[in-house]
Amino acid sequence: MKIALVGYGKMGKEIEKIALDRGHEIVSKIDVTSSDSFDDDSFKSADVAIEFTRPEAAFNNYQNCFKNNVPVVSGTTGWLDQLPAIEKACKEDGQTFFYASNFSLGVNIFFEINKQLAKIMNKVKEYDVSMEEVHHTQKLDEPSGTAITLAEGIINNLERKNNWTLDTAKEDEINIKAIREGQVPGIHTIKYDSPVDEIVIHHSAKSRQGFALGAVLAAEFTQGKKGMLNMKDLLNF
């Protein structure tokens, strides 16, 4: 496949390695300082664009890809208030958009365990739930996109929780503690605490390889498909 990389930072570089290993060709690398652009024939020739940039840049990048009818796989977090416009572009203009707050297989298994555990907790009122996420100090958004997906997984399955907050939690809220330290690729922990014990589920990424492999698998999956796609479509959980 011909792949365009939009964003050539930590994730763009990791994705490039895996894409080349899997026999793909990188036809364009668009970054703040690169000379490649969305108007180049090389970009227009791409079968898919993989976008990992920053929250405020993502939406404009998607529009530039759509203008050229290039399908998009994106993992950029912190832009989801603009999701309705992307859904509209897919529905009305036949664009293709694959999004995941976290592309790693392990985290997507963790998402499913989180939902199951939340359902069980409807029958056990003694436990209160909270979350912690730890990431490297260059991360711009908080809480992480993954933490928001985990919180939504709890809210949609545990009747006594309706919202999440980074501040002190009211009874119907989940407190998310966001920690920024060192070079941590990403750690997410969910704790159910009762007066007599605690239950903890935890995912810790050892590197960015898992995220990057998932993004390349998603790019392969977009071929011949239209509309909004996600990890549930890819993994068939």
Ligand X SMILES: O=C(O)C1=N[C@H](C(=O)O)C[C@H](O)C1
Ligand Y SMILES: NC(=O)C1=CN([C@@H]2O[C@H](COP(=O)(O)OP(=O)(O)OC[C@H]3O[C@@H](n4cnc5c(N)ncnc54)[C@H](OP(=O)(O)O)[C@@H]3O)[C@@H](O)[C@H]2O)C=CC1
From the CB of 163, what's the least distance to ligand Y, in Å? Answer: 22
Among 2, 9, 68, 142, binds ligand Y (CB under 6 A): 9
Decide if 139 is catalytic.
Answer: yes
Residues 6 or more apart in contact with residue 226 via CB below 8 angstroms: 90, 94, 95, 96
Kindly tell me the number of DSSP H helices and DSSP E strands found in the chain: 8, 11
> Residue 135's binding partner, choosing from ligand Y, ligand X, none, with beta-carbon cut-off 5 to 8 A by kind?
ligand X
Catalytic residue among 29, 135, 161, 203: 135
From the CB of 148, what's the least distance to ligand X, in Å? Answer: 8
CA–CA distance, 82 with 198 (Å, rounded to integer): 38
Give, rounded to a whole angstrom, the gap between the first and last alpha carbons of the chain: 26
Residues lying near ligand X in the complex (CB under 6 A): 77, 101-102, 135, 139, 144-146, 186
8 binding ligand Y? (CB under 6 A):
yes
> Residue 161's binding partner, choosing from ligand Y, ligand X, none, with beta-carbon cut-off 5 to 8 A by kind?
none
109 binding ligand Y? (CB under 6 A):
no
Note the maximum CA span of the chain: 64
Among 1, 22, 31, 189, binds ligand Y (CB under 6 A): 31
Q: Which is nearer to ligand Y, 121 or 234 (CB)?
A: 234
Q: Which phi-psi region, left, alpha or beta, contains residue 111 (left: φ > 0; alpha: ψ -120 to 50)?
A: alpha
11 binding ligand Y? (CB under 6 A):
yes
Work out the number of other CB atoms within 10 angstroms of the CB of residue 182: 8
192 binding ligand Y? (CB under 6 A):
no
103 binding ligand Y? (CB under 6 A):
yes
CA–CA distance, 93 with 146 (Å, rounded to integer): 29
Name residue 176's beta-bridge partners.
131
The radius of gyration computed from the CA coordinates of the chain, to the nearest angstrom, equals 19
Q: Which is nearer to ligand X, 31 or 36 (CB)?
A: 31
> Residue 100's binding partner, choosing from ligand Y, ligand X, none, with beta-carbon cut-off 5 to 8 A by kind?
ligand Y
For the annotated catalytic residues, the residue numbers are 135, 139
